[in-house]
C-alpha cells in the first residue's frame, strides 16, 4: 500500500476550453484536459479529506478567469497556477461518430506550455505533496528544457516522499517524433511509482503483444504499481507481490468515451489514498469511469459522484 506523506494531491498539466456536442450543430462549453479531469474527480470524491490542486499555466483572458473561478467553486486549490499575460487557454472540439470521439485542437498559444518555465515556483508548488499526477500530454506540450525542469522538480519531490503517478496517454501528433516520445517516457518512468497506461497506446508505441508484456516492461523500469487499462477488457494490475486481472463491468448506455481513462485514474488514486486495497480501488475507478461514459464530455454527473462517495462511507 503506498504511503502518502500528506493529503495534498496535485496534478500537473493543461486544461483547455472544451466544446462538446449536444446534438445538431450545438455544443456545450466547458473545461477539460486529461490531468485536470483526473484531479477534478479526485477533488469531488474526496472533498475535505484532501487538498486537491492543479499545477498549470493560464492567461489573463476571460476564459482563464472563468476557469480559475470554477476551480475555486469546486474546491480545488489554485495556488500553483502560473499566470502568463501574453498567452491564453487552448481550445478543443469533440467530434462524435457514434460513441467514439475524435478531437480538433487549437493550443499553439496555450499558457500551459510554460508551466515549468519557472523552476523555483515549480519546486515550491510540489513541495510536501502526497501525490503528484502527470501524463504524457503534460510532457509533450513542454519544451525540452522545460521537461528537464519538470523532471528535476519531480525527482526532488519524490526524494522528499511524494508519490508520482503517470499515465503515458500517448498523442502522436504532439511529439516531434516517435523516438522523442519513447525517450521522454523512459525518462519519466524513472520517477514513477504508479503507472496507469492504456494498452492500445502501449501496443502502438512499444509493440507490446498483450497487457502482461506492458506490465513486465514497466516493472523492469522500477515502477512499483502498474495498472493497464484495456477499454472494455480486463484491467491488468501488478505489484512486486503479483498480478491481478479484474474484469470491467459492462456499460450499456455509453454516450461518449471522452475522459473515461482519466476518471478511472481518479477513482483508483483516490481509493489508494483512502487505504483501499488494489482490487477495491480498481472497482472504484471502474464505477467512476462508467459514470463518465454515460454523459457527454469528460466529467461525471455530480449526483453520481455523490452516490459513489456515499457508498464509500466517507
pTM for the full model? 0.94
| Superfamily designation of domain 35-52+116-312 | Ribokinase (3.40.1190.20)
Q: For residue 96, what are the β-bridge partners?
A: 101
Report, as an integer, the average pLDDT of 143-158. Answer: 97
Cα 306-310-314 angle, rounded to 5 deg: 110
Cα 128-264-269 angle, rounded to 5 deg: 25
Q: What integer best gives the mean pLDDT of the chain?
A: 93
Instruction: Encode pLDDT of 253-293 as tens digits.
Output: 887 777 789 999 999 999 999 999 999 999 999 999 988 88
Query: Can you give the pLDDT at residue 185?
Result: 98
Q: For residue 110, what are the β-bridge partners?
A: 88
Domain boundaries, the chain: 35-52+116-312
Query: Can you give the pLDDT at residue 10?
Result: 98
Instruction: Encode pLDDT of 20-61 as tens digits.
Output: 887 778 888 989 899 999 999 999 999 999 999 999 999 988
Confidence tier at 96 by pLDDT (50, 70, 90): confident
Residue 313 in this model has a pLDDT that exceeds 80: no
Cα 147-204-265 angle, rounded to 5 deg: 60
Percent of the chain having pLDDT more than 90? 75
Q: Are 269 and 165 in contact (CB under 8 A)?
A: yes
Angle at which helix 144-159 crosses helix 119-126, to 10 degrees, equals: 30
Decide if 262 is catalytic: yes
Query: Can you give the pLDDT at residue 85?
Result: 86
Of 302 and 209, the structure prediction assigns the larger pLDDT to 209
Report, as an integer, the average pLDDT of 279-308. Answer: 88
Count the Cβ atoms, other than its own, within 10 Å of residue 114: 18
DSSP string, the chain: ----S-SEEEEES--EEEEEEEETTEEEEEEE-HHHHHHHHHHHHHGGGSEEEEEEEE-SSHHHHHHHHHHHHTT-B-TTEEE-TT-B-EEEEEEEETTEEEEEEE-TTBGGGGTTS-HHHHHHHHTT-SEEEEEHHHHHHS-HHHHHHHHHHHHHHHHTT-EEEEE----GGGSS-HHHHHHHHHHHHTT-SEE--BHHHHHHHH--SSHHHHHHHHHHTT-SEEEEB-TTSPEEEEETTEEEEEPPPP-S-----TTHHHHHHHHHHHHHHTT--HHHHHHHHHHHHHHHHTSSSSS--HHHHHHHHHHHT-
Report, as an integer, the average pLDDT of 155-160. Answer: 97
Report, as an integer, the average pLDDT of 135-155. Answer: 97
Query: Can you give the pLDDT at residue 169?
Result: 96
Active-site option among 61, 73, 262, 301: 262
Instruction: Encode pLDDT of 184-229 as tens digits.
Output: 999 999 999 999 999 999 999 999 999 999 999 999 999 999 999 9
Rounded CA-CA distance 114/88 in Å is 11
Amino acid at each position: 500500500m503506498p504511503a502518502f506523506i500528506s493529503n495534498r494531491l496535485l496534478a500537473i498539466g493543461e486544461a483547455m476550453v472544451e466544446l462538446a456536442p449536444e446534438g445538431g450543430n450545438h455544443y456545450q462549453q466547458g473545461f477539460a484536459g486529461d490531468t485536470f479531469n483526473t484531479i477534478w474527480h479526485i477533488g469531488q470524491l474526496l472533498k475535505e479529506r484532501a487538498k486537491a490542486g492543479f499545477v498549470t499555466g493560464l492567461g489573463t483572458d476571460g476564459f482563464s478567469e472563468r476557469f480559475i473561478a470554477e476551480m475555486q467553486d469546486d474546491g480545488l486549490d489554485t495556488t500553483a497556477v502560473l499566470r502568463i499575460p501574453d498567452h491564453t487557454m487552448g481550445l478543443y472540439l469533440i467530434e462524435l461518430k457514434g460513441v467514439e470521439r475524435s478531437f480538433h485542437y487549437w493550443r499553439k498559444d496555450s499558457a500551459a506550455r510554460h508551466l515549468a518555465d519557472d523552476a523555483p515556483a515549480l519546486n515550491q508548488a510540489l513541495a510536501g505533496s502526497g501525490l503528484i499526477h502527470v501524463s504524457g500530454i503534460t510532457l509533450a506540450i513542454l519544451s525540452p528544457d522545460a521537461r528537464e525542469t519538470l523532471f528535476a522538480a519531480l525527482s526532488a519531490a519524490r526524494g522528499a516522499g511524494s508519490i508520482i503517478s503517470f499515465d503515458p496517454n500517448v498523442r502522436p501528433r504532439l511529439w516531434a517524433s516517435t523516438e522523442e516520445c519513447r525517450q521522454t517516457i523512459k525518462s519519466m518512468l524513472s520517477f514513477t511509482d504508479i503507472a496507469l497506461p492504456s494498452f492500445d497506446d502501449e501496443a502502438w508505441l512499444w509493440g507490446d503483444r498483450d497487457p502482461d508484456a506492458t506490465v513486465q516492461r514497466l516493472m523492469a523500469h522500477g515502477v512499483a504499481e502498474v495498472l493497464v487499462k484495456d477499454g472494455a477488457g480486463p484491467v491488468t494490475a501488478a505489484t512486486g507481490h503479483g498480478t491481478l486481472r479484474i474484469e470491467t463491468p459492462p456499460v450499456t448506455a455509453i454516450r461518449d468515451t471522452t475522459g473515461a481513462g482519466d476518471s478511472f485514474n481518479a477513482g483508483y488514486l483516490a481509493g489508494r489514498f483512502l487505504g483501499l486495497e488494489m482490487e477495491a480501488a480498481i472497482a472504484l475507478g471502474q464505477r467512476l469511469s462508467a459514470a463518465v461514459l454515460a454523459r457527454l464530455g469528460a466529467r461525471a454527473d455530480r449526483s453520481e459522484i455523490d452516490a459513489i462517495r456515499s457508498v464509500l462511507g466517507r
